[in-house]
Amino acid sequence: MSAPDLFRYLLRLGDTSLILGQRLGEWLGHAPALEEDLGLGNLALDLIGQARLMLSYAGEVEGRGRGEDALAFLRDAPEFANLTLAEQPNGDFGRTIVRQWLIDGWQLEMYEALQASTDSRLAAIAGKALKETRYHYRFSSGWLVRLGDGTEESHRRVQESVDALWPFTHELFAADEVDEHLAAEGIAPRLELLEPQWSARVGEALREATLTRPGRVNFPWHGKRGVHTEHLGHMLGEMQHLQRTYPGAQW
């Protein structure tokens, strides 16, 4: 096994959870209802918990003494390996729900498959995260259906969000050499084998939500290879501000 490959793979999983969790955190105090405020906060905490486990492990694999905090707060945007979809702005509540639902569906397939990883620590983290993710998917797909099959305005707005975010889904199952190396060793699943299940799952939710599935897009986003949209830099500016300004600060 190549340690650099495993390190990069763990960053992809951990960073996707971290960045999505940070995005959800931006809703606190602003959600449409108190109950949703707590709901989104709970999702965010689950995701940041997953990120901590993944990034801690990544730091050990890397072997350069970087722990979860150093990886989260002291890397620049090009070193982040999250899916480009995760860093897209919250927009309205419907936009946040669509982003969440697409990634929840991806994480469901990933964690399910990773439970069988030959890397026992990664398998254990996936097993824990899968339970959380099942609830996340229930939450986000439930809201997708409510908004899609809701009022004329909610339908129109959530369809716009599906159309706007769909191009980023190409990256979810596009394998590169890191995915292929780890799949060959049984550490990671073969992404192309997971796509049909994801596609069927999101297709079912779209039908129930009376939403139209956008056409296939082949624009290759490369967030997991460190090529990000402009949004990530702004996010990190806020997220990392404290540690950058007061290195090592604790409470």
Partner 1 sequence: MEKDWPLFEVFIRSRSGLEHKHVGSLHAADAQMAVDHARDVYTRRQEGVSIWVVRSSDIVASDPGDADALFEPARDKVYRHPTFYEIPDEVKNL
Between CA 115 and CA 216 the distance in angstroms is 29
Q: Report the interface residues with partner 1, using CB under 8 A.
A: 33-35, 38-39, 42, 135, 138-139, 142, 146
Cβ 229 vs Cβ 219: under 8 Å: no
Task: Retrieve residue 173's tokens.
Answer: 């199952």
Q: Which is nearer to partner 1, 73 or 135 (CB)?
A: 135
Q: Which is nearer to partner 1, 40 or 54 (CB)?
A: 40
Provide, rounded to whole angstroms, the least separation between the CB of residue 146 and partner 1.
Answer: 7
Q: Which is nearer to partner 1, 39 or 167 (CB)?
A: 39
Between CA 251 and CA 248 the distance in angstroms is 10
Provide, rounded to whole angstroms, the least separation between the CB of residue 14 and partner 1.
Answer: 23
Cβ 208 vs Cβ 149: under 8 Å: yes
Provide, rounded to whole angstroms, the least separation between the CB of residue 39 and partner 1.
Answer: 4
Cβ 14 vs Cβ 66: under 8 Å: no
C-beta neighbour count of 240 within 10 angstroms: 15
Provide, rounded to whole angstroms, the least separation between the CB of residue 38 and partner 1.
Answer: 5
Q: Which is nearer to partner 1, 147 or 236 (CB)?
A: 147
Q: Which is nearer to partner 1, 146 or 222 (CB)?
A: 146
- Provide the terminal-to-terminal Cα distance of the chain, rounded to the nearest Å: 38
Residue type at 48 in one-letter notation: I
Cβ 1 vs Cβ 37: under 8 Å: no
